[in-house]
A and B are shown apart, each in its own frame.
Chain A
Amino acid sequence: MGGWDLMTRVWRLVVPATAYVNPASPGPTISPPSPVSFQTIMADYQSIQALHKAVPPFSPYIAVGLLPYIAFFLLVSTFGLAFYFSTLPKDTIPIREVAVASTASLLGGFGVVALFCSVGVYV
C-alpha cells in the first residue's frame, strides 16, 4: 500500500482533500463567519474555543527535561552493544548476534529521537 493511498485511507477529514475556494471571496471578512457559505462541516468556533480552554494542557509521555539524559544513556548503550556485536564469533545459528543487533538498533532508534529533541530539532 503506497504512502499516498495509506494517507487517504487513514485520515477522516472534514474538509475535502483538494483545494477549496471560498465562494464568498473576494470581499471583506465578515465577522462572525457566514453560516451558509461553506461546503465543509464546521462546528461552532466558540464551542471549540471553550473546549480548548477547558481541556488539560498537553503533556508528553516522556518529560522533555529528561530527554538529554535518556539520549546519552541510550546512545552510549548502543555504542557499547555495537562494539560487543563486533566481537561476537560467527555462529552457525546467530542467535546472540541477532539479539544484540536488535537491542542496539532499538536503543539507537529511541536514542536518536531523544538526541534530536535535545539539540532543538523537535521531531
Chain B
Amino acid sequence: MARWRFSLSLFLLATLGPWLALADHSFENTAIVRTVELGGALVHITTTYAVKALEDGSAVYTIALGDDEHEKTSWLEAKIKGQSAVLPLEKVGYDPKTDIHYYAVELSKALKANASTNLVVETVQTHATYPWPEEAGQKDGQSLKYETDLLVLSPYVTSVQRTKIRSPSPQVHSYTKPEGLEAFTLEDPVTKSGSTLTYGPYKNIPQSTTEDFVQERQQHVTIHYSCDYPVIEVTKLTRTAEISHWGANLNIQDNVHLHNGGPRLKGHFSRLEHQSSAYFGRQPPHIIPGLTLHLPAGIHDVYYYDLIGNVSTSHLRTAPSVPKGSQNNQFSVLELKPRYPILGGWNYSFTLGWDTPLGDSAGWDKESGKYVVGVPVMTTIPGTVVDVAEVKIILPEGATDLEFFPPFPAAMNELSTHVIYLDTIGRPTITLHYNQLTDQHAGVIYVSLLVTYKVPFSAHLKKPLAVATAFLGTFVLAFAWKRIDTRIQRQK
C-alpha cells in the first residue's frame, strides 16, 4: 500500500480520534484471545485478533489500550499470524473522556469485504506487578499481585473474547471472580486449570470504547500468585562504548544499579541462615544470589568492580571471536556473584566492562569512505526491566559525518565531546536516553545501535603529534637550559 495512503488514513484517524467509537465500522472482531504470561518485573501479553473486513479495501486496524495498560506498556508490536514481518504501527489518538489510547496498524495488504485475517499484537508491561505481602522474612516465599482490565477494548464489535492469565507457578492464592456479566456469558465467568485462569468466553460485545461501556461494563481483575524467581530491576544502566582505531578495540562498560523488586526484608538478615539454605539448595525465591550474563563472543580483559573495589567472585567462560556479520549463536558466559545476596528492597551497584576486537563490530565501506559500527544497546538479564538507560558511543577523535540509526526510537538524543587520554579537541560522543527497556528491546542476538562516521587519515595523526609536541617542548626547555649559565660563581 502506498505510504501516502497510510499517512492520509492516519491523518483522518487522528482528527476523528475522539469519535472513533462511533465512526469506524470497517472491521469486526470474530474472536479476541488475550494471553497474559505473568512474571516478576515483566508481563508478556499476546493478543490475537481474528478480524473480518466489512468493506473492501480495509487496511488500517485500530487497537485500543486503556490508560492503565498504556502506562505500563513498554513494548508494542503487531504482526500477521504466521508471518515474521512487523507491521507499521502508529499512535493516532487519545480520548480523555474514556482514557483510551488508539494505535493504528497498517495491514500487509488491504482486505476485501468478508475477508479475514489474524492479527497478533505483542506487548510487554513493566512494573505491572507488586509484591503482596509487601514484607517477607528471609525464609518466606514470594507472592505478587497483578491487576488488569477484564475486557479487551476495541472500537469494533466483538463476537467472542477470552483472556487467559498464566501464572509462573501453579500456586494462585486468589483471583477476582467478576460479576454482572450475564449480558456476555451465562456460564462461569472465570475458570481455573492448573496455573491458567481463563476469563471468558464473553460473547457479543459491542464497541467497547464508548464512555458508557467503559464506565458500566469494564471491570478490574486482580490475581495473587506465587513467584518462584526474584524480581530483578535495573534502576539505571549507563553503557559507554569507546571506539579506538589505533588499538582496533571496542570497549564496552556498563554501570549497573540493580534493585530487588520483591518483598522487603522483614526482620534482620542472617548470614548463617543464608549459608545454610544455599548449602541445602533451598534458596528462597526472593533473594538474588548472583547473575548469569551472556556477553558477546570474542571479549577479553573483562573487569567487574563495585564501590569497594574489584569483585573476584565471578566466573567467565569466553567464546572465540566470530567474524562480523556471520550468524553467531555463541556467547561468553559470565557468572557474577555480588559481595552480598540482594534481598527484597536492597540495591547493588557495580561496573562491568570488556574489550572486543573492533573488527567484530565495525566495518569499512570503501564506496562512501565511511566506517559502520554496531553497538549492542544493552546486555539482556532475562525477565528484567531497565528503568532508565543511557547509551553513549564515543567515536575516535576527528570523526566527521556522524549518522546514527537506533533500532528503536530514544527518548532523547545528545551530542557532546568526551576528552580522555592524549586527546586535543576531544572525541565526538552520541548519547541516547531510553526508558523502560526489556528483553524484547535487547533482541535475541543483541539488537545494535548502528553508527556511520568518517575519520580522515590526518585525524589519526592528532595523538602522536600532540605527544610529539609535548616532547619537543621538553627539548626546547633543554635547549634553553644548556645556554643559561646557572653556576653560582662565574669563572674569571
A contact residues vs B (CB 8 Å cutoff): 3-4, 6-7, 10-15, 17, 19-22, 24-38, 40, 42-43, 45, 48-49, 51-62, 64, 67, 78, 82, 85-86, 90, 94, 97, 101-102, 104-106, 108-110, 112-114, 116-117, 120-123
- Known: A11-B400, A101-B475. Contact between A123 and B86, CB under 8 A? no
Q: Quote the shortest CB–CB distance from A11 to chain B (angstroms).
A: 5
Determine which of B242, B244, B323, B372 lies in contact with A51 in the assembled complex, contact meaning CB atoms within 8 Å. Answer: B372
Determine which of A34, A58, A120 lies in contact with B363 in the assembled complex, contact meaning CB atoms within 8 Å. Answer: A58
Stretch at the interface among B73-81, B215-223, B230-238: B73-81
* Distance, CA A10 to CA B415, complexed state (A): 14
CB of B272 within 8 A of chain A?
no
Determine which of A4, A7, A113 lies in contact with B467 in the assembled complex, contact meaning CB atoms within 8 Å. Answer: A113
CB of B213 within 8 A of chain A?
no
* Distance, CA A43 to CA B371, complexed state (A): 16
- Known: A11-B428, A110-B464. Contact between A37 and B409, CB under 8 A? yes
- Known: A30-B90, A32-B86, A58-B359. Contact between A85 and B478, CB under 8 A? yes
Q: Quote the shortest CB–CB distance from A19 to chain B (angstroms).
A: 5
Q: Interface residue tally of chain B, by bracket?
A: 35 or more
Contact B246 A104 (CB under 8 A): no
Which residue from chain A places its CB closest to the CB of B426 in the assembled complex? A3
Contact B413 A15 (CB under 8 A): yes
A-B residue pairs, 10 tightest by C-beta: A109-B468, A122-B247, A55-B363, A53-B325, A122-B244, A101-B475, A57-B359, A105-B471, A109-B464, A109-B467
CB of B490 within 8 A of chain A?
no
Residues in A with CB closer than 8 Å to B251 are 122
Contact A112 B467 (CB under 8 A): yes
Residues in B with CB closer than 8 Å to A12 are 400-402
A-B contact pairs, 27 of them (CB 8 A): A11-B400, A14-B403, A15-B413, A20-B412, A22-B409, A22-B410, A22-B411, A24-B91, A27-B101, A28-B73, A29-B441, A30-B76, A30-B89, A30-B408, A30-B409, A34-B90, A35-B88, A36-B10, A45-B405, A60-B245, A106-B464, A109-B469, A112-B422, A113-B463, A113-B467, A116-B422, A120-B355
* Distance, CA A71 to CA B466, complexed state (A): 16
Determine which of A21, A60, A86, A109 lies in contact with B248 in the assembled complex, contact meaning CB atoms within 8 Å. Answer: A60
Q: Quote the shortest CB–CB distance from A41 to chain B (angstroms).
A: 9
Residues in A with CB closer than 8 Å to B351 are none
Q: Quote the shortest CB–CB distance from B479 to chain A (angstroms).
A: 6
Which residue from chain A places its CB closest to the CB of B452 in the assembled complex? A48
* Distance, CA A112 to CA B389, complexed state (A): 35
Q: Quote the shortest CB–CB distance from A6 to chain B (angstroms).
A: 6
Q: Quote the shortest CB–CB distance from A90 to chain B (angstroms).
A: 6
Contact B248 A64 (CB under 8 A): yes
Q: Quote the shortest CB–CB distance from A93 to chain B (angstroms).
A: 13
Given contacts A22-B409, A24-B91, A48-B405, 11 further A-B contacts (CB under 8 A): A13-B402, A19-B413, A30-B89, A45-B405, A52-B363, A53-B324, A57-B323, A58-B248, A82-B475, A101-B472, A101-B476
Residues in B with CB closer than 8 Å to A21 are 411-412
Which residue from chain A places its CB closest to the CB of B3 in the assembled complex? A35
Which residue from chain B places its CB closest to the CB of A35 in the assembled complex? B88
Contact B88 A42 (CB under 8 A): no
Contact A56 B90 (CB under 8 A): no
Contact A29 B75 (CB under 8 A): yes
Which residue from chain B places its CB closest to the CB of A29 in the assembled complex? B408
Contact A28 B247 (CB under 8 A): no
* Distance, CA A12 to CA B403, complexed state (A): 9
Residues in A with CB closer than 8 Å to B478 are 85-86
Residues in A with CB closer than 8 Å to B249 are 64, 117, 122
Residues in A with CB closer than 8 Å to B465 are 109
Which residue from chain A places its CB closest to the CB of B428 in the assembled complex? A11
Contact B244 A55 (CB under 8 A): no
Contact A102 B403 (CB under 8 A): no
Contact B244 A117 (CB under 8 A): yes
- Known: A11-B402, A35-B90. Contact between A28 and B70, CB under 8 A? yes
- Known: A22-B412, A123-B246. Contact between A113 and B422, CB under 8 A? yes
Contact B364 A58 (CB under 8 A): yes
Contact B409 A33 (CB under 8 A): yes
Contact B479 A101 (CB under 8 A): yes
